Chain A
Amino acid sequence: MTIPVRRFDAVIVGGGGAGLRAALQLSESGLKTAVLSKVFPTRSHTVAAQGGISASLGNVQEDRWEWHMFDTVKGSDWLGDQDAIEFMCRKAPEAVIELEHFGMPFDRLENGKIYQRPFGGHTQNEGEAPVQRACAAADRTGHAMLHTLYQRNVRANTQFFIEWMALDLIRDEDGDVVGVTALEMETGEVYNFHAKGVLFATGGAGRIYAASTNAFINTGDGLGMSVRAGIPLEDMEFWQFHPTGVAGAGVLITEGVRGEGGILLNANGERFMERYAPNLKDLAPRDFVARSMEQEVLEGRGCGPNKDHVLLKLDHLGPDIIKQRLPGIREIAIKFAGVDPIKEPIPVIPTCHYMMGGIPTNYRGEVVIPKGDNPEARVNGFYAAGECACASVHGANRLGTNSLLDLVVFGKSAGDSMVEFIKNEMPTWKPLPANAGQISLDRIARLDNQTGGEEVADVRAAMQRTVQARAAVFRNSENLALGVKEIQEVAERVKRTQIKDKSKVFNTARVEALELENLIEVAVATLISADARKESRGAHAHADYQERDDEVWMKHTLYYGEDRRLTYKPVHTKPLSVEYIAPKVRTF
């Protein structure tokens, strides 16, 4: 069967913050560009980001990008690449100003400048005192940013393919990326998109966990496609648990609540973070706060009939601040926790939120993989940005508000790199391989013809239970080893999933089955990578190896799907212009 071909200079997969920011670079360059998104762009999960986007604008107190860089390196527990971190923190002010010029409705200070609030791990002068660095549009910063970027793309006449799901990456015999295969959901038709460059901006994969702040659509599609195409995944053991997910519902409550003065209380009514982080208290970085909360629960000071959560108190801020700065939180608390935070605290638990790892890239957004002696050889024609990419600016733990920043800084950077590559190195298209798209057709045919298999929902639930139980906030050798075995058994079951829906038209059962094939790659990578890392660093807290071991483990994990093996590559210790920030003990 021949697959119809559509030809573009550039194809962007994903219409969230990173994809839309990159799309502006491509559209403005005059290159023929297609943006594929499996949902209408403003439904991408960037929309759910709440608290802010970081930049050392210094609108409230003195701030410097060097301080932002220090906080990010320390937040990453020294696993972040310092060249990429410098790049991001230096670019942050101009990136935020640009969003403002695009029309983003930031909150304002009395002097008319952008409002900034305190956030976890944001400090002045390398930890001296908290600083107001998070630029905010109430507690709907992601919504404001995503809509603004979409609107800007309307102005730029960007060509969208909405409700098209990319299925597989197309690489030629040289290993270069020459396109993607995609499914038009409305018609069920499969097309090859032939391109000189492909950018993945496919977002996170938090749905590998049973409880997650992530949307249903966060299924790691870019990571699954990469693994199937022989591209390794970097640092997949590092998953951020956000301290404040609504207990039971999983819905996110922004760290901005604590930025505005909210505090965490245990069953004794004690503000326990004062014990764990005497300096930053409730505004310590997320990995630190999440572990402290779990510790309180483990030691019997959890709240509620099952003593399984803690409380986020903010009524002391007063109704005015809550209504002005945290209106969305109030709405969420009322709808999903059944409490009005003006009067009552919100029950919260650490909840899977963000994937620090991803497709390995450099700060130019180019995908880089080991080749011969070079640990970071460029994959021609392949780019990644945003949560699906690992630049690595977040290392072992991301600071709050650095994700929205990551999207716009690296979306733009990857877009620029792509334009440069296509204009300078790609006068014409490399031919599509003869079997382009076959792997996707085989996957769909397998689903259509499968008999005697299992339901997608059942296998997905088994995967989520396994990851939740084996790769949680606190990890240990026994649990991880069990997890590696169990998740590989689930992976075998994924190969035999079955759907009853055989319709061509908007077949969401088929989409969910294809998504599960991506999720499982991420889940297996997570457990195998976590099992191998014999230290505690950032979000990887290992009971049997409680210390960070820079001697042996200050290195990035690379996971290869074809034989489920791991290799490692060095952390970038050389920033672009400033001095190396050497590892220190991480206290707050």
Chain B
Amino acid sequence: MKTARFSIYRYDPDKDAKPYMQDYEVELSPTDVKLLDVIVKLKAMDDTLSFRRSCREGICGSDAMNINGKNGLACVTNVADLKQPIELRPLPGLPVIRDLIVDMTQFFKQYHSIKPYVINDTPPPERERLQSPEDREELDGLYECILCACCSTSCPSFWWNPDKFVGPAGLLAAYRFIADTRDEATNERLDNLEDPYRLFRCHSIMNCVDVCPKGLNPTKAIGKIKDLMVKRAV
């Protein structure tokens, strides 16, 4: 029988003066494939261990955490690929509510700040607005974001200025709407980002690309927004 050893960040403000790391060891059965399978099993042993989870298939974005120093989703991470003891910590840079559960208010505030919806004041036709397959393809690699926050919380610029820098997830969403042929607010969207912090704190270190569990590329999207800014200035 194989076992897995863990070292997990624990903090319950109701009883702990400060955070600490707790060790666990658990026997693995053949169905314990993903990291989430195993921490659900740990929770059956110790019900105080707290984390978010829902779909367990990498589409809802609930179970993002810092796994052996790298952000990822527990439900799509193979436990066999991880070096032991497996060190689990909450996503870095956000306030911890309890154990692996972080307060994502700032992350969502930045997402909301880019007006994440199609803006189009032209009265819509009775049928669908037409869009060519090529124009629709422009949205691929952008719309699939699951708002797990792996990217933004791996970004030093977001750590230093979570209130001022939109962060990779928000900027990916910003470009998703700029790139949509149905959206009429490109200028307004660029105005919204024209600021020393909101967009330009991205220094293209690409941590976001490295950790995105959906294989998306926020850095590339940010580059495209920067290009549009330059083009507009000329």
Q: Which residues of A contact B (CB under 8 A)?
A: 39-40, 42-45, 47-48, 57, 96-97, 100-103, 105-114, 137, 140, 143-144, 147-148, 151-152, 154-155, 186, 215-217, 248-249, 251-252, 328, 331-332, 335-336, 455-458, 499-501, 503-509, 512
The answer to whether B14 has its CB under 8 Å from any CB of chain A is yes
B196 at the interface (CB under 8 A from A): no
Q: Is A154 a contact of B54 with CB atoms below 8 Å?
A: no
Knowing A113-B128, A113-B130, A501-B48 are in contact, say whether A216-B56 is a contact too (CB < 8 A).
yes
Contact A48 B55, CB 8 Å, known A155-B117, A501-B47: yes
Task: Give the distance in Å from the alpha carbon of A505 to the alpha carbon of B12 in the complex.
Answer: 7
Would you give the shortest CB distance from A444 to chain B, in whole angstroms? 15
Contact B127 A97 (CB under 8 A): yes
Q: Which residues of A contact B126 (CB under 8 A)?
A: 97
Residues in B neighbouring A249, C-beta threshold 8 A: 33
Shortest A361–chain B CB gap in Å is 26
A335 touches B58 (CB 8 A): yes
Q: How far is the CA of A452 from the CA of B223 in the complex (A)?
A: 60
What separation, in Å, do the CA atoms of A102 and B120 have in the docked complex? Answer: 9
The reply to whether B47 and A504 form a contact with Cβ atoms under 8 Å apart is no
CB of B98 within 8 A of CB of A505, answer yes
- Contact for A103 among B47, B76, B108, B182, CB less than 8 A: B182
Q: Which of B42-83 contact A (CB under 8 A)?
A: 43-44, 46-48, 50-62, 76
Closest to B123 in A: A101
Please name the residue on chain B nearest to A188 by beta carbon.
Answer: B14
Alpha-carbon distance A69/B19, docked complex (angstroms): 58
Find chain A residues with CB under 8 A from B112 CB.
154
Do A503 and B14 touch (CB < 8 A)?
A: yes
Contacts of B54 in A (CB 8 A): 39, 43, 45, 215-217
**Contact of B147 with A457 in the complex, beta carbons under 8 Å:** no
Once bound together, how far apart are the Cα atoms of A500 and B49, in whole Å? 11
Partner of A42, one of B12, B60, B131, B132: B60
State which of A45, A143, A148, A252 has its C-beta within 8 Å of the C-beta of B144: A143
Complex: A43 Cα to B50 Cα, angstroms: 17
Q: With contacts A42-B61, A47-B60, A505-B14 known, is A108 near B131, CB below 8 A?
A: yes
Compute how far the CA of A106 lies from the CA of B147 in the bound complex, rounded to whole angstroms: 20
Inter-chain contacts of B132 with A (CB < 8 A): 108, 110, 112
Are A97 and B55 in contact, with the CB atoms below 8 A? no
| 23 A-B pairs with C-beta separation under 8 A | A42-B60, A43-B55, A45-B55, A48-B59, A48-B60, A96-B128, A102-B118, A103-B118, A108-B136, A110-B132, A112-B130, A112-B132, A113-B128, A143-B144, A144-B143, A154-B117, A215-B60, A328-B59, A336-B57, A499-B47, A501-B50, A503-B12, A509-B43
Which residues does chain B contribute within 8 Å of A48, judged by CB atoms?
55, 57, 59-60
Contact yes or no, B117 A108, CB < 8 A? no
A154 to B124, CA, bound (A): 20
Q: Are A215 and B55 in contact (CB under 8 A)?
A: yes
Closest to B133 in A: A108
Bound Cα distance from A96 to B130, whole angstroms: 14
Cα distance, A507 to B48, chains bound together (Å): 7
Other contacts beyond A43-B60, A97-B127, A137-B143: 17, CB < 8 A: A39-B52, A39-B60, A40-B62, A40-B104, A45-B54, A97-B126, A102-B117, A106-B136, A151-B116, A215-B54, A217-B54, A251-B57, A456-B47, A503-B12, A506-B50, A506-B98, A509-B43
